[in-house]
């Protein structure tokens, strides 16, 4: 029992640090970021410039915590990790889809700025893709089809990485617009979005290798 508790505590702290990593990289003024604290900025005026460094440091610490959690209780750690990743990645995709579904025209304008698809395909893509994000994000949480859902989300990450790399290579001056349209016409966050997607593609691929079962089924003996 004690080893379960210790492993669970380590995994929860690691999950929090991964959330901090994503927040620092993608949402530098959110509740989970530290580099925007006024008290810290007062002491270290340039600390806000180090949000990516802070995020990556949080990720490294999270990985270092997962290792002893795994060694302490391998089976429990794998179950906990799978549960947390399904909730986190699925929730992120659901959240990312909402504004695109609500504002398909704005999303279509952003997609067109990538100059990647033929003009006739932009509107169709802008209507279909957010639905994929929502339903597969939901599926990875509530259905037992983890392998299929994670596989689709894995290829979504691949498409994000290709699109962002394309935008950076052509110096298009845009970023992904993954979670909001406002400010998406600035390339200042393009690299941070690319780093975030590269980080998350690994855990998603790992989920695609897990056996099909519901989240509740993970914990059944």
Residue 137 lies in a domain: yes
53/160 same-domain check = no
Residue 79 lies in a domain: no
111/213 same-domain check = yes
97/68 same-domain check = no
For the stretch 96-138, pLDDT in tens is 888 888 888 777 777 777 777 777 777 788 888 889 999 999 9
For the stretch 7-19, pLDDT in tens is 888 888 988 888 8
Residue 176 lies in a domain: yes
User: Tokens for 109?
Assistant: 């304008």
Say how far apart CA 94 and CA 114 lie, in whole Å: 23
Say how far apart CA 174 and CA 114 lie, in whole Å: 8
pLDDT number for residue 101 = 85
Residue 188 lies in a domain: yes
pLDDT number for residue 184 = 44
Say how far apart CA 184 and CA 91 lie, in whole Å: 21
Say how far apart CA 144 and CA 148 lie, in whole Å: 9
Domain end residue (candidates: 11, 44, 72): 72
Domain end residue (candidates: 23, 46, 72): 72
**Domain region containing 33:** 1-72
27/5 same-domain check = yes
Residue 67 lies in a domain: yes
56/142 same-domain check = no
Backbone angles phi, psi at 37, to 5 degrees: -65, 130
pLDDT number for residue 38 = 79
The angle at the Cα of 28, spanning 53 to 91, to the nearest 5 degrees, equals 105
Residues of the chain with pLDDT below 50 are 183-186
167 within 8 A of 190, measured Cβ to Cβ = yes
194/163 same-domain check = yes
pLDDT number for residue 175 = 59
pLDDT number for residue 173 = 63
DSSP for the chain, written as a single string: -HHHHHHHHHHHHHHHHHHHHHHHHH-TTSTT-STT-HHHHHHSTTGGGGHHHHHHHHHHHHHHHHHHHHHH-HHHHHHHHHHHHHHHHHHHHHHHHHHHHH-HHHHHHHHHHTT-S-HHHHHHHHHHHHHHHHHHHHHHHHSS-HHHHHHHHHHHHHHHHHHHHHHHHTT-S----SS-STTTT-GGGHHHHHHHHHHHHHHHHHHHTSPS--HHHHT--
**How many domains are there within the chain?**
2
133/192 same-domain check = yes
Domain end residue (candidates: 18, 40, 72): 72
């Amino acid at each position: 029992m004690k080893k379960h508790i210790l492993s669970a505590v380590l995994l929860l702290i690691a999950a929090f640090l991964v959330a901090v990593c994503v927040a620092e990289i993608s949402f530098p003024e959110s509740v989970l970021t530290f580099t925007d604290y006024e008290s810290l900025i007062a002491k270290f005026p340039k600390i806000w410039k180090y949000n990516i460094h802070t995020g990556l440091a949080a990720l490294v610490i999270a990985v270092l915590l997962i290792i002893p959690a795994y060694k302490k209780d391998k089976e429990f750690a794998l179950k906990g990790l799978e549960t947390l990743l399904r909730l986190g990645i699925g929730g992120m995709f659901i959240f990312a889809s909402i504004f695109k579904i609500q504002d398909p025209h704005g999303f279509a304008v952003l997609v067109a700025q990538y100059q990647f698809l033929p003009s006739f395909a932009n509107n169709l893509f802008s209507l279909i893709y957010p639905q994929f994000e929502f339903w597969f994000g939901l599926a990875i949480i509530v259905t037992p089809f983890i392998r299929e859902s994670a596989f689709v989300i894995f290829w979504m990450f691949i498409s994000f990485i290709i699109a962002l790399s394309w935008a950076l290579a052509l110096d298009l001056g845009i970023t992904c617009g993954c979670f909001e349209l406002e400010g998406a016409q600035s390339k200042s966050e393009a690299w941070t979005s690319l780093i975030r997607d590269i980080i998350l593609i690994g855990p998603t691929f790992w989920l695609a290798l897990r056996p099909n079962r519901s989240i509740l089924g993970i914990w059944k003996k």
